[in-house]
Amino acid sequence: MTAPLKALIINADDFGLEKEVNSAIIRAHRQGIVTAASLIANGTAFENAVELALEHPSLDVGAHLVLTRGPSLTGGPLLNPVEVPSLIKGDGLFPKNPVTLAGRIMMGFISHSQIEKELLAQMERIRRAGIRITHIDSHQHIHVLPSVFRIVAALALEFGVKWLRLPLRCVLPAGGPSVGALRRLQAGLLERLAARNASVMAASGLRATSYCLGFHFAGRLLEDEIEHIISNLPEGTIELSCHPGHDEARLEQNHPWGYKWERELSALCSERVRTAIEKAGVKLTGYSGLDARQCDS
């Protein structure tokens, strides 16, 4: 049996960030179209997310690796401050600016062995919690940096994970909601970085979906955007990332990213979106539902 022409994974990022995010992801899975979620090992609500994941085995759960938010799992004031000194500040927290972090990594100011130590700790925490990790991605796509990607690819093989997010094709269907020039520029840069990792993917035998969508509308993937994307999906395997949440005021206070958390949740549970999926002949699936031997990469 061959794979569907349009196999779509709806992946919710930031599982474990806050309880308001966790509950929204579960609602969007049970009542909407979310099929997978990516778990933050150092998230404030990690334990709550694990509990919910174990209660909902139909939801695929991956690792959302982090180097740009929250506390380190391997070094800090209450741990061993010398474990990863090039990665964290004196308070044990990661720097928030991904551009600054990327520059420091590329200029050699951050130890690759310390990156590996931290990301290994995050993967181990998820596995120890009883989660079968189906895929790997990262907060603010920091794993796409080639030196970090090699570390992540090796960890994927070590943990038996087949699927990595590799945004080689961040397709933006023409004729839909407008997207700013900066976001288009960022998407192009992300694709160029991802292309430098294609040989590592091929050599390792790891897999990625044919297309990685949602970047242009991160935090504001609303009903119009989802319907337009669904109605113009290319053939192949596609991941569409999303960020649902409850209690937008509280989330914005802790994470002032300008996300439309509640409206995104409503869109993911929308009957109009469900109808668009049926009309387009799209097969909703998770990573565990993809046959790695037959799906296009």
Please report, rounded to a whole number, the percentage of residues in the chain having pLDDT higher than 90: 70
291: confidence class by pLDDT, cuts 50, 70, 90: low
C-alpha–C-alpha distance, residues 70 and 83, integer Å: 16
What does the pLDDT read at residue 190?
Answer: 87
Please report, rounded to a whole number, the percentage of residues in the chain having pLDDT higher than 70: 94
169 and 218 Cβ atoms separated by less than 8 Å: no
Q: At what angle do helices 112-128 and 146-159 cross, to 10 degrees?
A: 30
1: confidence class by pLDDT, cuts 50, 70, 90: very low
Q: CA angle 128-130-113, nearest 5°? A: 35
pTM, two decimal places: 0.92
Checking if the pLDDT of 199 tops 50, the result is yes
Mean pLDDT value across residues 25-54:
98
Q: Which of 128-142, 164-178, 272-286 has the lowest mean pLDDT?
A: 164-178
pLDDT digits (tens, 9 = 90+) for 219-257: 889 999 999 999 999 899 999 999 999 999 999 999 999
Checking if the pLDDT of 207 tops 90, the result is yes
CA count, 13 A, side-chain hemisphere, 118: 35
Which residue in 112, 110, 93 sits closest to 101, CA to CA? 110
Beta bridge mates, 239: 9, 212
Residue spans of alpha helices (H) in 107-180: 112-128, 146-159
**Mean pLDDT for the chain?**
90
Residue 227 lies in a domain: yes
2: confidence class by pLDDT, cuts 50, 70, 90: low
89: confidence class by pLDDT, cuts 50, 70, 90: confident
Residue 87 lies in a domain: yes
Q: Does residue 171 or residue 96 have the better pLDDT?
A: 96
C-alpha–C-alpha distance, residues 118 and 115, integer Å: 5
Beta bridge mates, 63: 39, 136
Residue 129 lies in a domain: yes
Q: Which of 1-5, 35-39, 292-296 has the lowest mean pLDDT?
A: 292-296
Hey, CA dihedral for 103, 105, 106, 108, is it positive or negative? Answer: positive
Can you give the residue range of the structural domain that contains 254?
A: 6-289
Residue 110 lies in a domain: yes
> Tell me, what CATH number does 191's domain have?
3.20.20.370
Checking if the pLDDT of 297 tops 50, the result is no
C-alpha–C-alpha distance, residues 168 and 191, integer Å: 5
Q: Which of 78-87, 119-128, 199-208 has the lowest mean pLDDT?
A: 78-87
Residue 296 lies in a domain: no
Q: Which of 3-7, 83-87, 231-235, 252-256 has the lowest mean pLDDT?
A: 3-7
Distance linking the first and last C-alpha atoms of the chain: 17
Residue 194 lies in a domain: yes
Question: How is residue 115 written in tokens?
Answer: 């990156």
Q: Which of 20-24, 46-50, 108-112, 179-183 has the lowest mean pLDDT?
A: 179-183
Residue 297 lies in a domain: no
What does the pLDDT read at residue 38?
Answer: 98
Checking if the pLDDT of 292 tops 50, the result is no
Question: Amino acid identity, residue 38?
Answer: S
Q: What is the DSSP letter of 167?
A: -
pLDDT digits (tens, 9 = 90+) for 252-271: 999 999 999 999 999 999 99
What does the pLDDT read at residue 285?
Answer: 96
Residue 295 lies in a domain: no
Number of domains within the chain: 1
C-alpha–C-alpha distance, residues 62 and 48, integer Å: 15
Phi, psi for 195 (deg, rounded to 5): -60, -30
Checking if the pLDDT of 293 tops 50, the result is no
pLDDT digits (tens, 9 = 90+) for 116-136: 999 999 999 999 999 999 999
